[in-house]
Structure 1
Amino acid sequence: MRKFDETRTQHLISALIDENISAEEMKELNELLQDSPEALNMYLSMTQVDMEMHQDTSLLSHYSDLKPQVKEDLPETLDRLKKSLRLFQLVAAFLLAFIAINYLVLRNQPMKEEVNGSSPGVLAHILKLSEDIKWSKAKAKVGDPIGEEVLIIQKGSINLKYENGAEIKLVGPAEYKLHDQDSATLSYGQLAARIPEAAQGFTIDAPKALITDLGTEFALNVNKQGESKIFVYEGEVVGALLGPDGNTLKHSNLYAKDAVSIDSRSGTLKTLKDTKNFIRIAESPEASLHINQSYVDAVHNSDPIAYWRFNTEDTELITNEMSTSYSGALTGKAKIENGFLVFDKGTKGAFVVDEPIQNINSQGHSIEMWVKPLERSKDMMALASLVALGKPKNNETVKHLAYFGLTPQKSFNRHSPFNFWFASRFPARSGNYGVNCYANQDYKGQHWYHLVCIKNKNSLDIYVNGQLANSVQHELGSGDKAYQFFVGQMDFHKNSWQLHGSIDEVALYDRPLSAREIETHYQSMLEK
């Protein structure tokens, strides 16, 4: 960031006005104008003065041979025209120089990879193909990209995964056209869709019908006679009958278990009672998690100060397997199902350890868990946090030592979309002066991930599925204060950043885990 120096800035602006500024000086001035309000004010002031001076001197020289009354009779429009012209020249010169400099600076830099490794024009990838598939892309295989194109399926089924997380299943015979990340057309065939919150507004056109998804799971059957049948499994969908002008003529808001028929021939939209013949997207193999004894033994061998497994049916008290200290409890709508800690969409709740956790930041710390987000959310989702003790007073915010969570597509920070995020600060603060570490790889809904975040003496590290994803240097200190531990929410106050998904096998360490330990933990899950 460029610091404002009055003398230097004045020199650079003068050089620009005199049209003898070098490329390096232009780059320096550009950075100053972006970083310093004082520099920008000086630039506007000096160019305004130069513009007025240039106007006066040019008029005097141009009309020096004329009688004085001629200047008085000069139309005001000419004055304004010359003033505007001079200003335009200054701005144009500046912009042209700015473009040229940025071109020179960027020309020799390698091009950045597209976010999530995507190539331009790629809308989705093939997630699954049935063995009996017969379709227009006969040589295509799982993992291949799909762009803006028409897919014709004679037989079998295909699952597509959009870059925004939306998943579409098609069963032939079917004709499906991809338009962009947010829209497609099903001319005929059977379709099932699972749309995450981040892809809300996804629309599918059918003959004189429009289906708009509001973050849910639904099915659509379109026959070659132009009848569209919609069934909603979860969430909300808007089904619309389109008029001759292409605009909505009639519409219906559909919720879980609702179904309608839209007939383009008769121009009707009716409730549908028969919902037997709709397809649904099955959960992927990654959606299942079976913790084996080898994994449990590996965690025990690393000696965490706490290890919560959520296998108990007693939701009043979740015990720590490592000692009698640090038992936790569920709050709000958090629950245990099938041995997992579960957070449903639209609810609030957490797993909270009220007992102060001692010395967790004396030598650094590690948080380990298995996580399955159920969607790519448009909001931040919390995994865990270490929070300063004591209830905030008045309008004070909660002070956090560490955040661990999942990012949305965009936030106030710059990061690639749907990222794993670890943030640390010391002493515990309410949001400022922290250090962020992003995994720089995207998470997918309905998948389990083994995650470990670590605060080392001089680095913050994130491991995903046994491998180091990213490491960021820091100069944060350490201390022996105690902290409260949250899972699934950031805290009880402010924005909870509620998780929608499942968590299991949470382990907390008062030291940094080694790379070898983390890999051993993950690999032990692969043992049969």
Structure 2
Amino acid sequence: MKEFNETRTQHLISALIDENITSEEMNELNELLQHSPEALDMYLSITKIDMEMHQDSSLLSHYSETKPQIKEDLPETVNRLKKSLRLFQLVAAFLIAFITINYLVPRDQPIKQVVNVDSDLVLAHVLKVSEDIEWSKAETKVGDPIGKEVLIIQKGSINLKYENGAEIKLVGPAEYKLNDQDSATLSYGQLAARIPEAAQGFTIDAPKALITDLGTEFALNVNKQGESKIFVYEGEVVGALLGPDGNTLKHSNLYAKDAVSIDSRSGTLKTLKDTKNFIRMAESPEAWLHINQAYVDAVHSSDPIAYWRFNAEDKGLIPNEMSTSYSGTLMGEAKVEKGSLVFDKGTKGSFVVEEPIQNINSQGHSIEMWVKPLERSKRMMALASLVALGKPKNNQTVKHLAYFGLTPQRSFNRHSPYDFWFASRFPARSGNYGVNCYANQAYKGQQWYHLVCIKNKSSLDIYVNGQLANSVEHDLGSGDKPYQFFVGQMDYHKQPWQLHGSVDEIALYDRPLSAQEIENHYQSIQKK
């Protein structure tokens, strides 16, 4: 049996949904679903999202509002509905076949039970377990799924990561119930939370108290007498005292360094001065990227036209290591910190090379970088873009040759949730007729990725951590016009696509890198 491979499994599922899966691929997917809980979890997640998108009633409401009189468009609408029906039938048929194979057909060997949680009900995974842990799920290991259940911790600590990116740390003695993706209950114990933008609105119930996160990092202590203490490290939280009817009686908006106590016995909500006994999420061990000389030498050997390392700056100017041309400028609130280009949450800024970059599209091009998203976002986030020359005035549109970014869970295009996205337009255009390539691989917050996007004359390629994630064949065209280069924002106007996170080791090539070069670059960082 083949081992689970995220990229390969996503390809097989997409082929099934698009109705172009071969019989060999169907057999491969069937085998994966029978033996791999990760593959089954991915299958159910992707098909669920696909069905939700196809059944979005907004398509029909938009159609009825904008084109009520054009009868010629009706067949297209009917075809769209038929396609959704065929998709539903296909998915339903495949699930029935899968259940039949797994549970109704006799087998010579018993099926090994791999997971204890229904894949459809997985809410989080175990991220970390302390050595002294004593809790109700003694057999659970790091990486195991957690569903809708109550966790009782007698001693020690555990870290959970929800599917939406929310991270929770619990220290015993504690009792914590996972309700769904957006809510939980802490009956007693110590808790620390780091909630990304994509999970804003996450709530925690406590005795006659409700804590609603608005995208932040906070801590919560609940004792067995029913008193809840809240402390906010960053961002904003709403702490509420609930009345006898379960509705909010009093509430307080809390910001960084604010703390309150909510007492269910006395029915009080008051400011808390003592903030010494709160726990906090540890900083990610991957907080800063450590680049060795072997990686730098590997990039130099591929002869990029520009290589920006962010080790030094002179009044916001970042030099190009390869030549005196194409120095970049820090714009807005972009900054250099510990050798990386950083875009803090809530800030706006970019790294811009205004000097026209020559011949970047004559023979194709490659953009290489290391990226660490701060968190999963509800909106598009721009990584890099090549744009036509000139700073537009007023409402003039910007023409893009190429752009590279991170998607939200859903957007105006169809794609996997939280994906890497590369698009190309030739000649450079402003919003239409581009060719898209998605990695079909979900990014996570607080994690470094080595990314390379390549534009050939006839294909777009995305590499993630040294391996080809996806390739889209298309006649893309070429030309010798110069372009400007942006990082962190799409252009001078598309600030809503602001990146929040860190970027490092940006290299720009006037040719497509080979698969061997990309693998060598990625592997060289492991060398000592």
Query: Does the 8 A contact of 2:348 with 2:495 survive in 1?
Result: no
Whether the 8 Å contact between 1:283 and 1:446 is mirrored in structure 2 is no
Report the counterpart of residue 27 of structure 2 in structure 1: none
Q: Which residue of 2 aligns with 1:70?
A: none
For 2:273, what is the secondary structure of its paired residue?
coil
SS at match of 2:497: coil
Q: Deviations over 1:49-103 (max 9, x none)?
A: xxxxxxxxxxxxxxxxxxxxxxxxxxxxxxxxxxxxxxxxxx9xx9x99998666
Instruction: Show the counterpart of 1:452.
Output: 452
- 1:315/1:282 CA distance change after superposition, 3 Å: farther
2:265 and 2:506 map into 1 onto residues whose CA distance is 57
Aligned to 1:9: none
Q: Counterpart in 2 of 1:130?
A: 130
Q: Deviations over 1:247-274 (max 9, x none)?
A: 0000000000000000000100010111
Return the alpha-carbon distance in structure 2 between the equivalents of residues 133 and 197 of structure 1. 30
Q: Distance in 2 between matches of 1:304 and 1:402?
A: 18
Given that 2:313 and 2:319 are in contact with CA atoms closer than 8 Å, whether structure 1 keeps it comes out as no
Report the count of equivalent residues: 443
Unpaired runs of 5+ residues, structure 1, are 2-32, 45-90
Q: Deviations over 1:463-497 (max 9, x none)?
A: 11111111111111000000000011111114441
Task: Give 3-state SS (helix, strand or coil) of 1:120's partner.
Answer: helix
Q: For residues 41 and 474 of structure 1, do their structure 2 counterparts lie closer, same or farther at Cα, with a shift above 3 Å needed?
A: closer
Distance 1:315 1:414 in 2: 42
CA root-mean-square deviation: 2.6
Partner letter of residue 122 of structure 1? V
Pairing of 1:487-526 with structure 2 (within 5 A): 487-526=487-526
Aligned twin of 1:38:
71
SS of the counterpart of 1:516?
A: helix
What is residue 334 of structure 2 aligned with on the other side?
Answer: 334
Residues 155, 172 of structure 2: 8 Å contact kept: yes
Q: Which amino acid in structure 2 is aligned with residue 401 of structure 1?
A: L
- Aligned residue type for 1:487: V
- State the alpha-carbon separation in 2 of the partners of residues 111 and 386 from structure 1: 47
The amino acid of 1:255's aligned partner reads: Y
Sort the Cα spacing of 1:220 and 1:438 in 2 relative to 1 into closer, same or farther, 3 A: same
Report what 1:386 is aligned to: 386
Distance 1:130 1:42, change over 3 A: closer
* Contact 2:222/2:229, CA 8 A, preserved across alignment: yes
Separation in 2 of the partners of 1:332 and 1:291?
Answer: 27
Partner secondary structure for residue 161 of structure 2: strand
Change (3 A) 1:458 1:260: same
C-alpha separation between the residues in 1 aligned to 2:491 and 2:459?
25
- The one-letter code of the counterpart of 1:267 is G
Q: Is the 8 A contact 1:236 1:256 kept in 2?
A: yes
Task: Write the distance in 2 (CA, Å) between the matches of 1:510 and 1:438.
Answer: 22
SS of corresponding position for 1:442? coil
Q: Secondary structure at the match of 2:185?
A: strand
- Once the 2 structures are TM-superposed, how far is the Cα of residue 423 of structure 1 from its aligned partner? 0.7
> Are 1:212 and 2:212 matched, yes or no?
yes
- Secondary structure in 2 matching 1:221: strand
CA distance in 2, matches of 1:276, 1:100: 58
Q: Where do residues 310-329 of structure 1 align in structure 2 (5 Å cutoff)?
A: 310-329=310-329
**Residue 110 of structure 1: CA displacement?**
7.2
Tell me which residue corresponds to 2:194.
194
| TM-score after normalising by structure 1 | 0.80
CA distance in 2, matches of 1:97, 1:461: 32
State the distance in 1 between where 2:368 and 2:385 align: 12
Q: 1-side partners of 2:96 and 2:496: how far apart?
A: 38
Summarize the Cα distance change of 1:102–1:389 in structure 2 as closer, same or farther, 3 Å threshold.
closer
| Alpha-carbon separation, structure 1, partners of 2:137 and 2:358 | 60
2:484 is aligned with 1:475: no
SS of match in other structure, 1:299: helix
Structure 1 partner of 2:224: 224
- Identical aligned pairs, as a percentage? 83
How far residue 392 of structure 1 moved from its aligned partner, in angstroms, is 2.9
Is 1:401 the counterpart of 2:434? The answer is no
1:240 maps to what in 2? Answer: 240
Normalization by structure 2: what TM-score? Answer: 0.80
1:397–1:494: 8 Å Cα contact kept in structure 2?
Answer: no
Cα deviations across residues 469-527 of structure 1 (Å, max 9, x unaligned)? Answer: 11111111000000000011111114441111111100000001111111111111111
Quick one: structure 1 residues 111 and 486, their matched pair in 2 at CA, closer, same or farther if it must change by over 3 Å? farther
Tell me how far apart the structure 1 counterparts of residues 336 and 151 of structure 2 sit (CA, whole Å): 42
Give the corresponding residue for 2:3: none
The question of 1:292 aligning with 2:292 is answered yes
Q: 1:210 to 1:104 in 2, by over 3 A?
A: closer
One-letter identity of the residue aligned with 1:232: V
Task: Provide structure 2 residue ranges, at least 5 long, that are not aligned to the other structure.
Answer: 1-17, 19-59, 99-117
Q: Which residue pairs with 1:441 in the alignment?
A: 441
Q: Secondary structure at the match of 2:71?
A: helix
Amino acid at match of 2:400: H
Query: Which consecutive aligned stretches of 4+ in structure 1 deviate over 6 angstroms post-superposition?
Result: 96-103, 110-113
Partner of 1:368: 368
Deviation at 1:459, TM superposition (A): 1.0
